[in-house]
C-alpha cells in the first residue's frame, strides 16, 4: 500500500548550522575528491520507508548492479520514517557517523544546501538531467551548482466516484472547469438534497496544497524574491484572486469541518458520502483500504482524472518528491554518487513507473501508461510547483501560517484580504532566516 508522502519539516538548529559551516569549509565541496573512500568498505544509504514498501525490487536491482562496479563494497540500506528522518540526519551530520546517501523531500532541502550539508554533483553524469522536473531539480540548485539528484515525484489530481457519475448520467469525468462545476452541481442536486451530510467535494479548510494550487493557477505566489530578500506574496492581487476562487468552490460543494486538514482523507471519502476529492493517486486505492482508514466496500469505485483549473489548464499541483544527496562528511562520496546514478537512471525510473510513481524527468512522463491510474498525474506534473526555495520556508511551514490563514478564510473569521495580509506579515518575520 502506498503511504502518504508527508514532508514534515524541521527547522535546523543553530548548533547544526555551525557544524555544517565548519564541515563545508573543511571538505571544500569536492564532489568526491575529498573523502572519495576508494572502491571498498560499507556504503550506508538512508531511504524512507516508501522504497521498502512500494519498490523493494528497485533496491535489490540497484545493489546488484552496484556490486558489479564495486565488488568489494557492501551496501547497507536503512529505512527512515518521514516524521523523524530530519532529526536523525541533523544528528548524524553534526557527528561523525554519517550516512553516505540521504533522501530528502524537495520542500525541505533548501536549508541543508544553503548551510553546506551536501556536496555538489556533476549533473551531466545522470540520465535525463536536462529533462529533470523543475520542481525537483530547482530545489537542488544554488549559485550555479546542483547538490542533489531527483529521485521520484507525486502530483495531486482529481478523484471521483465512478458509480455516482453514472447515476447522474455523466459518461466521463470533466475536462474543463465549467464542466467540473456542471457535474458537481448535478451531483449536489441529486445526492446532497437527499442527505445533508453528503459532501459533493471533499475540501477541508486547512488543505493548503489544494488552496495554493488555485493561487498558482491564476499566477499568484506564496512568496517572491526581490533582490536578496524574500517576502510574502499572498496578499498580492493574483494570490487573492486565486484564494477567492478556492473559497467559492469550498462554499459551493464542501460539507464538513472547515477547521480540518486532509490528513485523514482516505478514511473520510471512504465513508461513501463524498462525490469527488483532490488528492494523490495512491489515495484512490487507499479510500478502499482499511490499512489507510478506507472502506473495502468502496473498492473499484474511485477513478482519477486531470483536475481542471479555472485558468483552462490543469490545476497546477504541488509536486511532492524526493531527492538524493551525499553529505559532505561522507567518506564514500564517489561510490555514493555512483549508487545514486544507478538508482535514478532510465532503467530504474521505469521500475518506479511500474510501481505507479512518477519519474524524475519529463521525457519518461510519456512512458506512464495512458490508461493507468497514474496517467492524470503525469499530465498534471508538467505544471507542478514546489514551495518557495527560501532559507526560512521550513519555519513558515512549521508555524502553520498557511493552514491557519485558510481556516480563518474558510470559517469566515477573516476576509481573504485581511487573512492574507496577516499571513504575509508572519511569513516576512521568518522567511529570510536560515
CA separation for the pair 236, 39 (Å, rounded) = 54
Averaged pLDDT of the chain: 91
The band of 36, judged by pLDDT with boundaries at 50, 70 and 90, is low
Helix and strand element counts for the chain (H, E): 19, 12
Q: Which residue has the higher pLDDT, 323 or 291?
A: 323
Residue 17 has pLDDT above 60, yes or no: no
How much of the chain exceeds pLDDT 90, in percent? 88
409 burial type by CB count under 10 A (0-12 exposed, 13-18 middle, 19+ buried): buried
Return the pLDDT at 239.
98
Domains and CATH numbers, the chain: 14-154+319-383 (3.40.190.10), 155-317+389-430 (3.40.190.10)
The band of 109, judged by pLDDT with boundaries at 50, 70 and 90, is very high
What is the average per-residue pLDDT within 234-260? 97
What is the average per-residue pLDDT within 142-170? 97
* pLDDT digits 0-9 by tens, 76-94: 999 999 999 999 999 999 9
CA separation for the pair 375, 372 (Å, rounded) = 5
Q: How many CB atoms are located within 10 Å of the residue 18 CB?
A: 12
* pLDDT digits 0-9 by tens, 257-300: 999 999 999 999 999 999 999 999 999 999 999 988 999 999 99
In angstroms and rounded to an integer, the radius of gyration of the C-alpha atoms of the chain is 22
Give the CA distances from residue 341 to residues 46, 101, 149, 346, in Å, rounded to whole numbers and listed in that order: 15, 11, 8, 10
How much of the chain exceeds pLDDT 70, in percent? 91
Return the pLDDT at 37.
56
Residue 423 has pLDDT above 50, yes or no: yes
Q: Which residue has the higher pLDDT, 183 or 9?
A: 183
DSSP label of 132: B
* pLDDT digits 0-9 by tens, 184-215: 999 999 999 899 999 999 999 999 999 999 99
Q: Which residue has the higher pLDDT, 150 or 8?
A: 150
Return the pLDDT at 251.
98
Give the CA distances from residue 282 to residues 3, 270, 294, in Å, rounded to whole numbers and listed in that order: 8, 13, 12
What is the average per-residue pLDDT within 358-366? 97
Residue 242 has pLDDT above 50, yes or no: yes
Instruction: For residue 131, give the H/E element and its range.
Output: none
Residue 16 has pLDDT above 70, yes or no: no
The band of 7, judged by pLDDT with boundaries at 50, 70 and 90, is very low
The band of 39, judged by pLDDT with boundaries at 50, 70 and 90, is confident
Residues in contact with 347: Cβ distance below 8 Å, sequence separation at least 6, in sequence order: none
Contact 153, 361 (CB under 8 A): no
What is the average per-residue pLDDT within 320-339? 97
Contact 403, 210 (CB under 8 A): no
Question: Residue 130: CA atoms inside 13 Å, Cβ hemisphere, count?
Answer: 1
CA separation for the pair 37, 175 (Å, rounded) = 54
Amino acid at each position: 500500500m502506498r503511504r502518504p508522502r508527508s514532508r514534515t519539516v524541521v527547522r535546523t538548529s543553530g548548533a547544526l548550522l555551525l557544524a555544517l559551516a565548519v564541515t563545508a569549509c573543511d571538505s571544500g565541496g569536492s564532489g568526491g575528491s575529498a573523502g572519495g573512500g576508494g572502491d571498498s568498505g560499507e556504503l550506508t544509504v538512508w531511504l524512507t520507508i516508501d522504497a521498502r514498501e512500494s519498490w523493494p525490487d528497485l533496491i535489490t536491482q540497484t545493489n546488484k548492479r552496484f556490486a558489479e562496479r564495486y565488488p568489494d563494497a557492501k551496501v547497507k540500506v536503512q529505512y527512515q520514517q518521514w516524521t523523524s528522518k530530519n532529526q536523525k540526519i541533523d544528528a548524524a551530520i553534526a557527528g561523525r557517523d554519517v550516512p553516505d546517501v540521504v533522501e530528502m523531500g524537495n520542500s525541505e532541502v533548501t536549508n541543508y544546501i544553503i548551510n553546506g550539508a551536501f556536496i555538489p554533483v556533476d549533473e551531466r553524469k545522470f540520465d535525463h538531467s536536462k529533462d529533470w522536473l523543475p520542481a525537483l531539480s530547482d530545489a537542488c540548485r544554488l549559485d550555479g551548482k546542483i547538490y542533489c539528484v531527483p529521485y521520484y515525484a507525486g502530483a495531486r489530481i482529481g478523484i471521483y466516484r465512478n458509480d455516482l457519475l453514472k447515476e447522474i448520467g455523466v459518461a466521463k469525468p470533466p475536462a474543463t472547469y465549467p464542466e467540473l462545476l456542471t457535474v458537481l452541481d448535478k451531483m449536489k442536486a441529486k445526492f446532497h438534497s437527499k442527505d445533508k451530510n453528503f459532501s459533493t467535494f471533499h475540501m477541508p479548510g486547512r488543505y493548503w496544497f489544494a488552496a495554493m494550487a488555485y493561487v498558482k493557477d491564476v499566477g499568484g505566489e506564496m512568496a517572491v524574491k526581490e533582490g536578496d530578500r524574500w517576502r510574502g506574496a499572498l496578499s498580492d492581487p493574483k494570490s487573492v484572486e486565486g484564494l477567492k476562487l478556492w473559497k467559492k468552490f469550498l462554499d459551493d460543494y464542501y460539507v464538513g469541518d472547515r477547521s480540518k486538514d486532509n490528513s485523514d482523507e482516505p478514511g473520510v471519502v471512504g465513508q461513501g458520502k463524498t462525490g469527488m476529492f483532490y488528492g494523490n493517486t495512491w489515495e484512490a486505492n487507499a479510500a478502499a483500504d482499511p490499512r489507510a482508514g478506507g472502506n473495502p466496500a468502496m473498492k473499484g469505485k474511485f477513478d482519477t482524472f486531470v483536475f481542471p483549473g479555472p485558468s483552462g489548464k490543469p490545476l497546477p499541483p504541488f509536486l511532492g518528491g524526493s531527492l538524493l544527496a551525499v553529505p559532505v562528511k561522507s567518506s564514500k562520496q564517489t561510490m555514493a554518487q555512483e549508487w545514486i546514478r544507478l538508482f535514478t537512471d532510465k532503467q530504474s525510473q521505469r521500475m518506479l513507473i511500474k510501481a505507479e510513481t512518477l519519474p524524475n524527468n519529463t521525457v519518461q512522463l510519456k512512458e506512464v501508461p495512458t490508461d493507468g491510474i497514474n496517467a492524470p498525474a503525469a499530465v498534471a506534473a508538467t505544471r507542478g510547483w514546489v514551495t518557495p526555495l527560501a532559507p526560512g520556508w521550513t519555519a513558515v511551514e512549521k508555524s502553520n501560517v498557511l493552514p491557519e490563514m485558510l481556516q480563518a478564510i474558510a470559517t469566515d473569521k477573516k476576509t481573504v484580504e485581511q487573512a492574507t495580509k496577516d499571513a504575509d506579515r508572519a511569513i516576512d518575520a521568518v522567511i529570510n532566516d536560515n
